Amino acid sequence: MPKKGQTYGVIIARLDSIDGTLKEIKENSKDTKKKVNDHTTRIVRLESHKEEEERRIGNNFLVRAAIIAGIAGTVASLIMKFI
């Protein structure tokens, strides 16, 4: 029911304005969801790269540890020969 003094034309204009606002909110919501999905995808990729880097660093550490162990074994063997 319209307020006193309002015409149906004014009410329809307000309803159209509200409808436009709701459509704008819906579009903004879609845009926001897309941005969230894009950021989520980027975060997942960054985490994947981080895990790969951690594995690579771990593998490098194991290789270096094996080399050091080999050198230590060789040095120990040489020391035992001379003692």
Half-sphere exposure of 22 (CA within 13 A, CB side): 6
Contacts of 2 (CB under 8 A, 6+ apart): 8, 10, 11
pLDDT above 70: percentage of residues in the chain: 93
DSSP code for 73: H
Give the global pTM: 0.46
DSSP code for 4: T
Residue type, 32: T
Each residue of 57-66: pLDDT tens digit? 888 888 889 9
Each residue of 9-30: pLDDT tens digit? 788 888 888 998 999 998 889 8
DSSP H/E element including 53: helix 8-82
